[in-house]
Amino acid sequence: MEEIKNYAPSENLLEDRVILVTGAGQGLGRAAALTYAQHGATVILHGRKVEKLERVYDEIEAMGKSQALIYPLNLEQAEEKDFFALSEAISQQLGRLDGILHNAAFLYSLSPIENQTIAQWKTLLQVNLIAPFALTKACLPLLKSAPDASVIMTSNSSGHKPSAYWGGFSVAKAGTEALAKVLADEWESMTNLRINTLIPGIVNSPQRIKTHPGEVKQTMRQPEDLMNAYLYLMGPDSRSVRGQIMVCQGN
């Protein structure tokens, strides 16, 4: 476990890089997409709702940065061929991929295991675990070809330290941490490719609002407060950091 402190990214940290952000339409994904674009990256905006992605696209365009690409895909219904189609589209349109931020997530309201269904667990595992695996696998040839590629898995405190009522979501997020460890070991000999796990902690996000609706949003950390950590793990300054689980603490 490591904590990122006092990181000061350069303005052109991600210049000439292509980065895919899943769940880019809102919350932490939106903040990360805007931040990556601000620091020079060409960002591929993935999400389920086109209208949300279009708003983020317009925000990037208004900044005068590299034009983003929109790629809508419903992860709950996606099959293996859909992930390979996404990878092929990136290859055809941009010719490279330098990073993936796996940020898309889905969860139901918190409840005891006895109230959860097999259908719910299938959805939770599909979106939160199987999709990151399948997308990483499909994009692996592009990532291997990049001079310095980074993959970030987004976990959750309930996955790192499972607790009551989080059920299938907790299990899926624990699985993403295990997946990142497996890939880090498999990529150990590759100096140009790395993977790490990031736990945002308590932050004002759609997911947090769903699980803790009574909290006062204005008193919480905002997604923008965490972006130094997202920049650090995606950019070249973390090139030697591999297979780590990092927790965002403070600002």
Q: What is the pLDDT of residues 41-76, one digit of tens each?
A: 999 999 999 999 999 999 999 999 888 999 999 999
pLDDT of residue 1: 37
CATH number listed for the domain at residues 18-247? 3.40.50.720
pLDDT of residue 49: 94
Mean pLDDT for 75-88 is 97
Rounded to whole angstroms, the Cα distance separating 120 from 225 reads 32
243 in Cβ contact with 195 (< 8 Å): yes
pLDDT of residue 211: 59
pLDDT of residue 216: 53
pLDDT of residue 218: 63
Mean pLDDT for 175-198 is 96
Q: What is the pLDDT of residues 89-136, one digit of tens each?
A: 999 999 999 999 999 999 998 899 999 999 999 999 999 999 999 999
3-state secondary structure the chain: CECCCCCCCCCCCCCCCEEEECCCCCHHHHHHHHHHHHCCCEEEEEECCHHHHHHHHHHHHHCCCCCCEEEECCCCCCCHHHHHHHHHHHHHHCCCCCEEEECCCCCCCCCCHHHCCHHHHHHHHHHHHHHHHHHHHHHHHHHHHCCCEEEEEECCHHHHCCCCCCHHHHHHHHHHHHHHHHHHHHCCCCCCEEEEEEECCCCCCHHHHHHCCCCCHHHCCCHHHHHHHHHHHHCHHHCCCCCCEEECCCC
Strands laid side by side in the 69-72 sheet: 69-72, 42-47, 18-21, 99-102, 149-154, 193-199, 245-247
Rounded to whole angstroms, the Cα distance separating 27 from 20 reads 16
Is the predicted pLDDT of residue 182 greater than 70, yes or no? Answer: yes
User: Which of 249, 244, 155 shows the shortest CA–CA distance to 199?
Assistant: 155
What tokens does 108 get?
Answer: 């139901």
pLDDT of residue 251: 46
CA neighbours closer than 13 Å in the CB half-sphere of residue 69: 17
Contacts of 132 (CB under 8 A, 6+ apart): 22, 102, 153, 176, 179
Q: What is the pLDDT of residues 193-242, one digit of tens each?
A: 999 999 987 665 666 555 555 555 666 778 888 899 999 999 999 999 99
Instruction: Name residue 42's beta-bridge partners.
Output: 18
Is the predicted pLDDT of residue 32 greater than 60, yes or no? Answer: yes
- Mean pLDDT across the chain: 90
Burial of 1 from C-beta contacts in 10 A (0-12 / 13-18 / 19+): exposed
Long-range CB contacts (within 8 A, 24+) of 118-121: 120/167, 120/168, 121/167, 121/168, 121/171
